[in-house]
């Protein structure tokens, strides 16, 4: 006897789940068979739209523990006491491929972290690289189109990838990261994570600081060569997912140490690089890392679809003491991320357990829509302001105001002293050992040599030459050798 009785969606017991109802033993099936119709109709609707980017992902629960006092820089409640722990959920992901893609590929990795704080959920949406390919969100749909499957061939085309990059010199820094030794992490546990963008912290006195987040893996950085990755993909396309699940199940809980770079807001205007340009880093010599705490993952989700696929993150989910900066890419994502989830999951996706606050309660006047389960108690009004007992505003801004000036319109950001598209890419190249440089050149040349148009190749080579003369010369020679071989 089964431990529980199988029921329909409405709770009625199911008499037979093995045979469909028919008109006679060998006759046609009957539309009145509730169990058959319900099962088939529900099965047809099991899939939701996958994410356009970051579709293939893995997730885990854990906690963040404060280890160092940062109250002089932010009034965020979850950071206000050494030793304080906050529950978290993280989603790792590849970027370009679809839900059915492989894990061990050369691609940036998403590093999206949700803190279930007592003042609401705080989402930090970053990558495993400190920089990105573009710095203005108006280019983002075109960038992703160039990296995705070609509409005619149905596969990723080197022509499209490198053609876009040839017209986007600001991508040179991220390309140097992506094709370097850390371009293919050995696992999600063995890579660093970055907020990538610049954010604002505000302390209890109202003083503003700009910050960058760095999560340093305590497992050590481990990466795969192109050859090792190809072998791994062939052996196990789910390698990163399998590694994460099995590690946590064994009690080998992965962890990261969070450091931040902190820039007083007054220093931003005269800094040698534009501090709000996500294609650039702040050198540690200028703004050293300050330790904040540690992130530990200790629990696997019970159901991947329910908790990982339906997890929704938005960089616009701030808490008091943390806010945005004028980073253009961040500004675009403040809208785009949440809107993507409204499309994928519906307007009430924030009510799903993985997305709902855990240490507090969401109280607002949002009502109705598909799957509404929180429409307010009997007699409460659905508008504000009101004369009844509804929730009201605090009049206390989450972060400090930022001064703006000038005319509306489409503007290029005024350059800082050392702002160009190539300086930091060259600096990164010059930091590499000879072996690292050789692998970087081989990785770039192997992909760039697949491009069929000489002008596209030449434009990209010009970017590498501009970053570093040796860098450009070596890539150019390697591409020529492949094409002439």
Helix, coil or strand: residue 44: helix
- Helix/strand/coil percentages in the chain, nearest 5: 30, 15, 50
- Name the E strands within 95-156: 109-117, 120-127
122-125: long-range pairs with CB below 8 Å, 24+:
122/76, 122/78, 122/317, 122/318, 122/319, 122/322, 123/313, 123/314, 123/315, 123/316, 123/317, 124/195, 124/213, 124/315, 125/313, 125/314, 125/315, 125/333, 125/337
* Six-digit token string for 462: 């010009």
80 catalytic? Reply is no
463 catalytic? Reply is no
At how many degrees (to 10) do helices 239-249 and 226-235 cross? 80
Q: How many CA atoms lie within 13 A of 271 on its CB side?
A: 20
Catalytic position from the list 4, 17, 44, 54: 54
Catalytic position from the list 127, 128, 317, 460: 127
Q: Which residues pair with 92 in a beta bridge?
A: 58, 111
CA end-to-end distance (rounded Å), the chain: 70
Distance of alpha carbon 364 from alpha carbon 12, whole angstroms: 35
Residues classed as catalytic: 54, 127
């Amino acid at each position: 006897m089964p431990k529980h009785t199988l029921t329909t969606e409405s709770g009625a017991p199911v008499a037979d789940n093995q045979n469909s109802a028919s008109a006679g033993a060998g006759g046609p099936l009957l539309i009145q068979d509730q169990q058959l119709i319900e099962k088939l109709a529900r099965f047809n609707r099991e899939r939701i739209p996958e994410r356009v980017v970051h579709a293939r992902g893995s997730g885990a629960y854990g906690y963040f523990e404060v280890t160092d006092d940062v109250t002089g820089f932010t009034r965020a409640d979850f950071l206000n006491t050494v030793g304080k722990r906050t529950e978290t959920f993280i989603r790792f992901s590849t970027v370009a491929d679809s839900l059915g893609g492989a894990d061990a590929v050369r691609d940036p990795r998403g590093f999206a972290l949700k803190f279930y704080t007592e003042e609401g959920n705080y989402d930090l949406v970053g990558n495993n690289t400190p920089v990105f390919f573009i710095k203005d969100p108006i280019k983002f749909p075109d960038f992703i189109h160039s990296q995705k499957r070609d509409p005619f061939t149905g596969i990723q085309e080197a022509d499209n990838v490198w053609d876009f990059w040839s017209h986007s010199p600001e991508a040179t820094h991220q390309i140097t990261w992506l094709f370097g030794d850390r371009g293919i992490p050995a696992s999600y546990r063995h890579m660093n994570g970055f907020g990538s963008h610049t954010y604002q912290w505000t302390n209890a006195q109202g003083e503003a600081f700009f910050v960058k987040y760095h999560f340093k893996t305590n497992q050590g950085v481990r990466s795969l060569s192109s050859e090792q990755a190809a072998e791994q993909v062939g052996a196990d396309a789910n390698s990163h997912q399998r590694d994460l699940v099995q590690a946590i199940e064994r009690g080998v809980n992965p962890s990261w140490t969070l450091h931040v770079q902190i820039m007083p807001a007054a220093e931003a205007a005269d800094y040698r690089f534009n501090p709000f340009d996500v294609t650039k880093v702040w050198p540690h010599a200028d703004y050293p890392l300050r330790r904040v705490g540690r992130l530990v993952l200790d629990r696997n989700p019970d159901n991947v679809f329910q908790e990982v696929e339906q997890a929704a993150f938005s960089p616009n989910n701030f808490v008091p003491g943390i806010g945005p900066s004028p980073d253009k890419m961040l500004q675009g994502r403040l809208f785009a991320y949440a809107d993507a989830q409204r499309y994928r999951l519906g307007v009430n996706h924030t009510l799903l357990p993985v997305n709902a606050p855990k240490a507090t309660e969401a109280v607002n006047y949002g009502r109705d829509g598909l799957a509404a389960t929180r429409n307010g108690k009997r007699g409460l009004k659905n508008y504000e302001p009101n004369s009844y007992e509804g929730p009201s505003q605090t009049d206390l801004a989450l972060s400090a105001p930022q001064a703006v000036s000038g005319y509306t319109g489409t503007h290029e950001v005024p350059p800082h002293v050392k702002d160009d598209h190539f300086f930091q890419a060259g600096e990164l190249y010059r930091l590499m050992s000879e072996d690292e440089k050789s692998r970087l050149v081989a990785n770039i040349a192997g992909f760039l040599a697949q491009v069929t148009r000489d002008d596209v190749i030449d434009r990209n080579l010009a970017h590498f030459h501009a970053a570093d003369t040796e860098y450009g010369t070596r890539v150019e020679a390697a591409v020529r050798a492949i094409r002439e071989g």
